[in-house]
Amino acid sequence: MISKPERAATNGRVTRFPIALDVAVCAASVENLNQLLADTISLRDLYKKHHWQVSGPTFYQLHLLFDKHFGEQSELVDEIAERIQTLGGVSIAVAHDVAETTLIPRAPRARDEASVQITRLLHAHEIVLDEARAMARQAAAAGDDGTNDLLVSDVIRTNERQVWFIAEHLVGDGAGR
């Protein structure tokens, strides 16, 4: 018989659901995923900032590309937050929590050249990819296949593809490879 969800002994931060994972595994994944969520929200918002503020000879292409990547990052935000909830956690959800948690440096309010915007986005992607890989290994070792799959199949693949697309805009301008 499936019982009512019970509060775990983690200061009320994780609810035990019958998903065949130890509450400690869920709590560790929730902590990791909330960090990743904050960084993914920050990356998503950088894309929208740069979408609004891009200028120069590649304006149209980058304007569209940044908006496309914003949409893809928005999907990841939702997937990560839903995984946190599935594990019995509470996902961060408001700007001040994101600002306190993110590892991605805050962008200046000023408008930057496209190459500076792209470099900033590449740095943010590298932060997300570095932590997603480490978190995926930790989830796999703990038997949290759902979190591992989300990290590898969605977060890592999406971010790697986006890096490729935007990094190609720096080729030949002295700032790229």
The CATH number assigned to the domain holding 35 equals 1.20.1260.10
Residue 173's pLDDT band (cuts 50, 70, 90): low
**Contact call for residues 150 and 40 (beta carbons, < 8 A):** no
Domain contains 8: no
Q: What is the pTM of this model?
A: 0.89
Question: What is the model's pLDDT at position 6?
Answer: 40
Per-residue model confidence as pLDDT tens digits over 97-120: 999 999 999 999 999 999 999 999
Enumerate the H helices of 54-113 as residue ranges. Answer: 59-86, 95-101
Question: Is residue 5 in some structural domain?
Answer: no
The whole domain housing 102 covers 19-170
Whether 96 shows a pLDDT value over 70: the answer reads yes
Provide mean pLDDT across the span 18-39. Answer: 93
Please give the tally of structural domains in the chain. Answer: 1
Q: What is the pLDDT of residue 159?
A: 98
Whether 37 is covered by a domain: the verdict is yes
Spatial neighbors of 130 by CB under 8 A, at least 6 apart, are none
Question: What amino acid is encoded at 134 in this protein?
Answer: A
CA distance 90 to 139: 18
DSSP type of residue 152: I
What gap in Å lies between CA 149 and CA 123, rounded to an integer? 24
147-154: list long-range contacts, CB under 8 Å, 24+ apart.
Answer: 147/29, 147/32, 147/33, 147/83, 147/87, 150/79, 150/80, 150/83, 151/36, 154/76, 154/79
Q: What is the DSSP letter of 138?
A: H
Count, in order, helices (H) and strands (E) of the chain.
Answer: 6, 2
Q: 81, 83, 66: which is closest to 19 by C-alpha?
A: 83
Give the residue, 4 or 98, on which the prediction is more confident: 98
